[in-house]
Structure 1
Amino acid sequence: MFNSNYFVYITSNTTRSTYYIGVTNDLARRLNEHYHNSGDRKTFAGRYYCYTLIYYERLNSPDDAIAREKQLKGWSRSKKEALIRKHNQLLKSLNNLVLE
């Protein structure tokens, strides 16, 4: 379903206190990896339990996805949150949309 494109995505922990921004060509696989790495202090997403998808964008090329990831990582938290809330006002989990 989601395997033929590239994605920039934002995950968070259950309290929405930490955001993780990443890029992948297989969003379902990547979310499963984040979930299984929960509590792993060797990874940022694992250390902060960031496995809940709250935002994603589909892009056409890996270069576009990487450029967008870098752009988002450079934004302030308030700017990131405004982007997320524009599409997901309540910061609800989107995992079920991807993992079905």
Structure 2
Amino acid sequence: MPFMYILRCRDGSYYTGSTDKDPELRLWEHNHDEHLAARYTIKRRPLVLVYLEEFERIDAAFAREKQVQRWSRAKKQALIDGRGHDLPVLSRTRREPPAR
């Protein structure tokens, strides 16, 4: 099954990716393989898998990866923490006034 995943890097940043491989194998590649790891993750090892979503098709996992990559750190953290109810509030732009 394909997956969208989020890794926490040594420096505290997040890396979002998608794969049709076993997620633990992909994590190993990010942590140990110079040729299969993403350029971003090579200098930020070790990495820890902090979030995983499963999909029926790789194109759906890839689309979700691209969506989450555009999110703020706060929004990614809410997803990781299972605080889906906070996502709409975190989606508002900084200029948009809060709802009354």
Q: How does the TM-score come out when normalised to structure 1?
A: 0.71
- Correspondence list, 1:13-92, <5 A: 13-14=9-10, 17-26=12-21, 27-37=23-33, 43-49=39-45, 51-86=47-82
Q: Which runs of 4+ in 1 moved over 3 A?
A: none
Contact 2:10 2:44 in 1 (8 A): no
Tell me the CA shift for residue 8 of structure 1. Answer: 0.3
Structure 1: give runs of 5+ residues left out of the alignment: 88-100
Per-residue CA shift, 1:11-68, capped at 9, x if unaligned? Answer: 11246x1100010111122111011048xxx810111125210000001101100110
Structure 2: give runs of 5+ residues left out of the alignment: 84-100
Separation of aligned partners in 1, 2:9 and 2:71: 19
Separation of aligned partners in 1, 2:39 and 2:24: 18
Count residues in correspondence.
Answer: 79
Root-mean-square deviation (CA), in Å?
2.0
